[in-house]
Structure 1
Amino acid sequence: MTLATREAALPLAAALLRAEAAIPPDPVPTGATRETQVIAIYGKGGIGKSFTLANLSYMLAQQGRRVLLIGCDPKSDTTSLLFGGRACPTIIETSTKKKLAGEAVAIGDVCFKRDGVFAMELGGPEVGRGCGGRGIIHGFELLEKLGFHEWGFDYVLLDFLGDVVCGGFGLPIARDMCQKVIVVGSNDLQSLYVANNVCSAVEYFRKLGGNVGVGGLVINKDDGTGEAQAFAESVGIPVLAAIPADDDIRRKSANYEIIGRPGDRWGPLFAGLAENVAGALPHQPRPLSQDALLGLFKGEAVGRGVVLEAASEADMRGAAPQPRPSLEVVYDTV
């Protein structure tokens, strides 16, 4: 090509480059198709979020929805409740075994189903031998390789540990992997403290441009004292259901029984929860300060009235401190 020909081709090449640059990039995948609701459920350990999720997912499936339940809590108790106490292989342990054997992980190795509910457990590292958050990230990376973005579910429910101070457990909120968050709490300070932390995480990432909101609060083991209801009103989120502190529920849950069945005693409760979760809007919460959170409880329950008394040097030493010469070098100013 001659110099003249090369110079004549430059404007055309520039025009082609400008046209290519004007083409918008493909959208970043968020974990599911637009029609799929991805919902992350958070709550303090032992508050009953896995119990709530197992029964909620079962009821949704009985209502004709396609549901995928993913346990993201290292305790791996979500699927145990769904499968009547039977533990299923976790994604992390299966991935490790397959890698050592030089084999690839298949859907059937990690995903199992019961009465229309598809379920899997991410799992976690052995105690003291790894980071639970890193396990979550690794698990979702494997799910993406298995085609997570292409699965056709109406609902994907993620059961997360409530401690979102760890980046891995805050993943759905931080990376817009879900459209909304549901928190499970009770009428006790610790569970509402965790719920408030989740609201704080949502508010923080929304300020950074995130889109995840809080769909609402599920009150579990509700004894009627009203602190959880007051919390929901204070932070600006709805109560989706109040599951009573009933001995029948406690006994059946301990025996790994599903109570969210149409026609059963507790069926209407979970049918209502399913409809409320499906229609819940992603609210932007107003997290409470520590004092405001304590203010939801009676003074005798949280120790209000105690005055903070500052400690002295003598208190710390157990005796009066002896003066010592200073080693500080002081320079004369001119």
Structure 2
Amino acid sequence: IGCDPKSDTTSLLFGGKACPTIIETSTKKKLAGEEVKIGDVCFKRGGVFAMELGGPEVGRGCGGRGIIHGFELLEKLGFHDWDFDYVLLDFLGDVVCGGFGLPIARDMAQKVILVASNDLQSLYVANNVCSAVEYFRRLGGNVGVAGLVINKDDGSGEAQAFAEAVKIPVLASIPQDDDLRKKSANYQIVGTAQSQWGALFAELGMNVGEAPPVRPAPLTQDGLLELFDGSETGAGYTLVPATDMDMRGKNAAPQESLEVIYDEA
């Protein structure tokens, strides 16, 4: 189930073909006075069933609210009674939004698999997800983190260090390789027995299925930054407070007050 407003989660499975989204289909059906059926939004290939929740048009709505609406419709379509080996939800890491944090908040998932690369922004998002998981566990939730998939791994080691710091395993390391990049851009499935990458993705699949959910230990902002070498980028800077003179410059000269002060009666 693609839960990204870009609606591109299932494109690889269907050779680049974009399938109708749940939100788009729901809107059209409602205007026509019709009910949405499974066959309107769910499509299959090679034993895999897939669908896209979708999102609002740019500047015309909240993506998180769209996710909530999409899951409300999935529940009407029997989501909790589906009989699959696995149900994978591909979500943005923007869990500060209630919609994107829905599977964690409502215990709709058993475990979270993080996908991140060796860059600060990617690991910042992964750390946010860990924080959300831990927050809802303290409220009585049951969702845990199964581990981290390092994507476009260049060998610099920050993602590996992050996994060790938050106490989660690395499920797979996908190398930064031009062959993978080109095939992904051309919507070619590489996780097959005939591919040189088949064994890597087969191992990833096994690890995702077997890894138990654990409670992560999310990092503070400073702890996250310490994973990166800041010796050449100003690490350790001491904050200097601004003054009124700094802010107003030539306008900082005292102005005569217009306040009227009355003598005490």
Q: Same fold (TM over 0.5)?
A: yes
| Residue 70 of structure 2 is aligned to residue 142 of structure 1 | no
The 2-side partners of 1:276 and 1:328 are apart by 74
Match of 1:60 in 2: none
Q: Secondary structure at the match of 2:12?
A: helix
Question: How much identity, in percent, do the aligned residues show?
Answer: 77
* One-letter identity of the residue aligned with 1:306: Y
Match of 1:28 in 2: none
Shift in Å, 1:309: 2.0
Match of 2:239 in 1: 308
| Residue 12 of structure 2 is aligned to residue 74 of structure 1 | no
Shift in Å, 1:312: 1.0
Shift in Å, 1:162: 1.1
Shift in Å, 1:125: 0.7
Question: After TM superposition, where is structure 1 displaced by more than 6 Å over at least 4 residues in a row?
Answer: none
The 1-side partners of 2:107 and 2:57 are apart by 28
Match of 1:253 in 2: 184
Does the Cα contact within 8 Å between 1:294 and 1:302 map onto a contact in 2? Answer: no
Q: Within 5 A, what are the aligned runs for 1:1-334?
A: 70-300=1-231, 303-319=234-250, 321-323=252-254
Could you list the runs of 5+ residues in structure 2 that have no partner in the other structure?
A: none
Shift in Å, 1:305: 3.6
The 1-side partners of 2:171 and 2:233 are apart by 27
Q: Secondary structure at the match of 1:220?
A: strand
Does the Cα contact within 8 Å between 1:179 and 1:282 map onto a contact in 2? Answer: yes
Does the Cα contact within 8 Å between 1:240 and 1:277 map onto a contact in 2? Answer: yes
The 2-side partners of 1:73 and 1:111 are apart by 16
What is the alpha-carbon root mean square deviation over aligned residues? Answer: 1.9
Q: Secondary structure at the match of 2:49?
A: strand
* One-letter identity of the residue aligned with 2:49: F
How has the CA–CA distance of structure 1 residues 273 and 325 changed in structure 2, closer, same or farther, with 3 Å as cutoff?
same
Q: Secondary structure at the match of 1:234?
A: helix
What do the CA deviations read for 1:1-20 (whole angstroms, capped 9, x no partner)?
Answer: xxxxxxxxxxxxxxxxxxxx
- Which is bigger in relative contact order (C-alpha 8 A, separation at least 6)? 1
Does the Cα contact within 8 Å between 1:173 and 1:202 map onto a contact in 2? Answer: yes
Shift in Å, 1:194: 0.3
Shift in Å, 1:181: 0.5
TM value normalised by structure 2: 0.95
The 2-side partners of 1:79 and 1:320 are apart by 57
The 1-side partners of 2:43 and 2:202 are apart by 23
What do the CA deviations read for 1:276-331 (whole angstroms, capped 9, x no partner)?
Answer: 000111110111011110100111465314332221111111137333577698xx
Aligned residues: 263
What do the CA deviations read for 1:192-228 (whole angstroms, capped 9, x no partner)?
Answer: 0000000000011111111110110000000111100
| Bigger Rg, which one | 1
The 2-side partners of 1:229 and 1:107 are apart by 41
How has the CA–CA distance of structure 1 residues 328 and 240 changed in structure 2, closer, same or farther, with 3 Å as cutoff?
farther
How has the CA–CA distance of structure 1 residues 301 and 83 changed in structure 2, closer, same or farther, with 3 Å as cutoff?
farther
TM value normalised by structure 1: 0.75
* One-letter identity of the residue aligned with 1:207: R
* One-letter identity of the residue aligned with 1:189: L
What do the CA deviations read for 1:17-69 (whole angstroms, capped 9, x no partner)?
Answer: xxxxxxxxxxxxxxxxxxxxxxxxxxxxxxxxxxxxxxxxxxxxxxxxxxxxx
The 2-side partners of 1:328 and 1:261 are apart by 82
Please say which of residues 164-173 and 311-320 is displaced more in the overlay.
Answer: 311-320
